[in-house]
């Protein structure tokens, strides 16, 4: 029997996994969720001997039940290959007693590669299964990171094209170079004369432009979205928690069945939700510790049951966590509400209309598996420095938010359980903030010089993603205004 997916806001809307992946969002604006969370299909002991790809298959086949074994194994093989600089895909580093799961050895040196390297393959397999003979066109607006991860994931995947808009002058030099030097015949990158909000609003308008949608259909194409609420991004993220547990058993760091805590630097709530799903599958996880930066809306929510986005927004040194609406939280709210679609819908409508909702006491009890904390920018920088002094290990700012929150949690709660920490970016991704935290920037502002200095200090080789970036040929020079995004898309797709 196939696992059925339902909209969090309307139980009547159902989809098979492949359909949910093609649609992204349910038509009522809800998120697709499995109608139950399947159990892990193998023993914990068996995990010890499984490599990353084998673990991926064991986990994903339970969720993506309408994919054949061959389809799924093909997707996994095409995703987790030499694009990752480490053969094990996600190495574990024991850093002063905490297991750091390094999710950043993919093409863009941040954890979004874990899901975005497989999503294109899941989508094209889904299109084939559903006899969709159209080419899939991904449109994305980016503030820097997601765009590059999506470009790298979709580059040269047959049956797909991708167009990324970024705000000209609104991303770092490294980020811009990463995008405009992207190879792949099916990729396009456009610098928008505007800010990120204008790029995002513009992309949303293109998705909703029925005339454009029809024009695309006539040309044998259709839009799709790669954003983080797609179930095809969530499911691949469950894998690394299961894999890490197997490795900890294998290395005799854990006894079989021993529960670990998991701490995750959180923004949109996708990564930590994947850990929660892993726990529901039967992986021995004790606490899920949700770490925020100064945008601590989740901390307040777990503390008092009220989600309130009406607050000041801070730009911090951990920009990928600068978020006030954590979209994937809806999937947890849905479970806490006893899988009640009407209640979930009411909470989300309240959020949309007033920016606030409060959950019931009963729901708060359901959330007791979660702990939460936040770290200021100062605490984050101090944590990078102190861990480096003690161990020589260099963390990026996002990872350091999690480490800082964990250190405080351990003292406050006197919880001595072994702990797995999701390390979400390479320090080479944020060389400015990292080098300043280490008091080693010496006024240098050029990111490439800072990268060289970081290599000297850390002894960690510069990853392929940024090595030689300065001298790579620029392949994308398209620019446009917010008003001409549609014409630009039509031109790039050859349907003007």
Ligand X SMILES: *Cc1c(COP(=O)(O)O)cnc(C)c1O
Closer residue to ligand X, CB minimum distance, 268 or 385? 268
CB of 50 to ligand X, least distance (A): 24
Q: Does 296 bind ligand X (CB under 6 A)?
A: no
Neighbours of 389 (CB within 10 A): 9
Q: What span, in angstroms and rounded, lies between the C-alpha atoms of 134 and 344?
A: 34
CB of 168 to ligand X, least distance (A): 22
Give 438's DSSP letter: T
CB of 304 to ligand X, least distance (A): 21
Closer residue to ligand X, CB minimum distance, 124 or 423? 423
Which residues, other chains included, contact 346 with Cβ-Cβ below 8 Å and sequence gap of 6+? none
Q: Are 46 and 33 in contact (CB under 8 A)?
A: no
Q: What span, in angstroms and rounded, lies between the C-alpha atoms of 146 and 224?
A: 15
Q: Does 265 bind ligand X (CB under 6 A)?
A: yes
Closer residue to ligand X, CB minimum distance, 142 or 266? 266
Q: What is the 3-state secondary structure (H, E, C) of 220-258?
A: CEEEECCCCCCHHHHHHHHHHHHHHHHHHHHCCCCCCCC
184-202: b (≥16 Cβ within 10 Å) or e: bebbbbbbbebebebbbeb
Count of residues near ligand X by CB under 6 A: 17
CB of 218 to ligand X, least distance (A): 36
Closer residue to ligand X, CB minimum distance, 269 or 276? 269
* Cα 201 to chain centroid, rounded: 21
Closer residue to ligand X, CB minimum distance, 186 or 426? 426
| Three-state DSSP state, 78 | helix
Choices 62-70, 107-115, 385-393, 485-493; region in contact with ligand X by CB under 6 A: 107-115
CB of 309 to ligand X, least distance (A): 15
Q: Does 112 bind ligand X (CB under 6 A)?
A: yes
Give 89's DSSP letter: S
CB of 339 to ligand X, least distance (A): 22
CB of 33 to ligand X, least distance (A): 16
Q: What span, in angstroms and rounded, lies between the C-alpha atoms of 454 and 472?
A: 21
Choices 108-116, 134-142, 340-348, 453-461; region in contact with ligand X by CB under 6 A: 108-116
Q: Does 145 bind ligand X (CB under 6 A)?
A: yes
Which of 52, 165, 223, 269 is close enough to bind ligand X by CB under 6 A?
269
Label residue 320 exposed, middle or buried (CB < 10 Å: 0-12, 13-18, 19+).
buried
Closer residue to ligand X, CB minimum distance, 111 or 302? 111
Q: Does 270 bind ligand X (CB under 6 A)?
A: yes
- Reading the block at residue 280, the tokens are 């529901």
Which of 186, 317, 424, 488 is close enough to bind ligand X by CB under 6 A?
424
Q: Does 271 bind ligand X (CB under 6 A)?
A: yes
CB of 265 to ligand X, least distance (A): 5
Label residue 39 exposed, middle or buried (CB < 10 Å: 0-12, 13-18, 19+).
exposed
In the numeric block, the tokens 């010089």 are attached to: 449
Q: Does 103 bind ligand X (CB under 6 A)?
A: no
Q: Does 425 bind ligand X (CB under 6 A)?
A: yes
Q: Are 29 and 325 in contact (CB under 8 A)?
A: no
Which residues, other chains included, contact 331 with Cβ-Cβ below 8 Å and sequence gap of 6+? 8, 31, 33, 234, 273
Partners of residue 424 on adjacent β-strands: none
Which residues, other chains included, contact 350 with Cβ-Cβ below 8 Å and sequence gap of 6+? 356, 357
Which of 267, 373, 431, 463 is close enough to bind ligand X by CB under 6 A?
267
Q: Does 268 bind ligand X (CB under 6 A)?
A: yes
CB of 59 to ligand X, least distance (A): 17
> CA-CA distances (angstroms) from residue 203 to 66, 159, 225, 276?
31, 21, 10, 31
Q: Does 240 bind ligand X (CB under 6 A)?
A: no
Which of 110, 163, 212, 395 is close enough to bind ligand X by CB under 6 A?
110
Give 139's DSSP letter: E
Which of 295, 320, 377, 419 is close enough to bind ligand X by CB under 6 A?
320
Q: Does 266 bind ligand X (CB under 6 A)?
A: yes
Choices 9-17, 190-198, 264-272, 410-418; region in contact with ligand X by CB under 6 A: 264-272
Q: Does 398 bind ligand X (CB under 6 A)?
A: yes
Residues near ligand X (CB under 6 A) are 110-112, 145, 228, 265-271, 320-321, 398, 424-425
């Amino acid at each position: 029997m196939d696992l059925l997916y339902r909209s969090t806001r309307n139980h009547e809307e159902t989809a098979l996994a492949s359909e949910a992946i093609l649609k992204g969002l349910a038509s009522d604006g809800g998120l697709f969720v499995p109608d139950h969370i399947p159990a892990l299909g193998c023993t914990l002991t068996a995990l010890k001997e499984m490599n990353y790809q084998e673990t991926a298959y064991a986990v994903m086949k339970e969720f993506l039940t309408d994919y054949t074994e061959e389809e799924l194994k093909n997707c996994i093989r095409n995703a987790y290959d030499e694009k990752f600089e480490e053969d094990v895909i996600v190495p574990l580093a024991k850093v002063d007693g905490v297991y750091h799961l390094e999710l950043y050895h993919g093409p863009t040196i941040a954890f979004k590669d874990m899901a975005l390297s497989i999503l294109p393959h899941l989508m094209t397999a889904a299109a084939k299964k559903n006899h969709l003979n159209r080419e899939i066109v991904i449109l994305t607006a980016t503030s820097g990171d997601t765009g590059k991860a999506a470009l790298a994931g979709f580059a040269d995947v047959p049956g797909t094209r991708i167009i990324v808009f970024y705000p000209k002058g609104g991303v770092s030099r490294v980020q811009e170079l990463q995008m405009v030097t992207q190879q792949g015949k099916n990729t396009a990158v456009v610098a928008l004369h505007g800010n990120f909000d204008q790029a995002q609003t513009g992309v949303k308008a293109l998705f909703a432009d029925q005339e454009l949608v029809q024009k695309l259909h006539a040309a044998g194409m259709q839009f799709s979205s790669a954003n983080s609420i797609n179930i095809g991004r969530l499911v691949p993220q469950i894998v690394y928690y299961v894999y890490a547990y197997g490795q900890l058993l294998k290395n005799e760091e854990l006894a079989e069945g021993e529960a670990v805590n998991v701490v995750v630097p959180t923004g949109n709530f996708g990564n930590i939700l994947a850990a929660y799903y892993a726990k529901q599958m039967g992986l021995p996880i004790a606490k899920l510790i949700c770490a925020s930066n100064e945008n601590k809306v989740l901390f307040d929510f777990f503390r008092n049951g009220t989600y309130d986005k009406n607050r000041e927004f801070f730009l911090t040194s951990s920009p990928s966590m600068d978020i006030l609406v954590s979209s994937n939280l809806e999937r947890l709210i849905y479970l806490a509400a006893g899988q009640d679609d009407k209640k979930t819908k009411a909470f989300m409508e309240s959020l949309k209309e007033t920016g606030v909702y409060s959950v019931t006491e009963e729901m708060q009890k359901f959330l007791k598996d979660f702990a939460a904390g936040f770290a200021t920018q100062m605490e984050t920088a101090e944590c990078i420095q102190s861990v480096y002094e003690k161990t020589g290990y260099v963390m990026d700012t996002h990872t350091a938010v999690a480490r800082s929150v964990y250190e405080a949690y351990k003292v406050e709660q006197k919880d001595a359980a072994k702990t797995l920490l999701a390390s979400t970016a390479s320090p080479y991704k944020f060389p400015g903030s990292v080098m300043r935290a280490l008091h080693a920037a010496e006024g240098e502002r050029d990111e490439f010089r800072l990268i060289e200095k970081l290599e000297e200090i850390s002894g960690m080789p510069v990853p392929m993603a940024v090595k030689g970036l300065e001298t790579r040929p620029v392949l994308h020079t398209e620019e446009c205004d917010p008003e001409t995004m549609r014409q630009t898309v039509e031109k790039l797709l050859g349907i003007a």
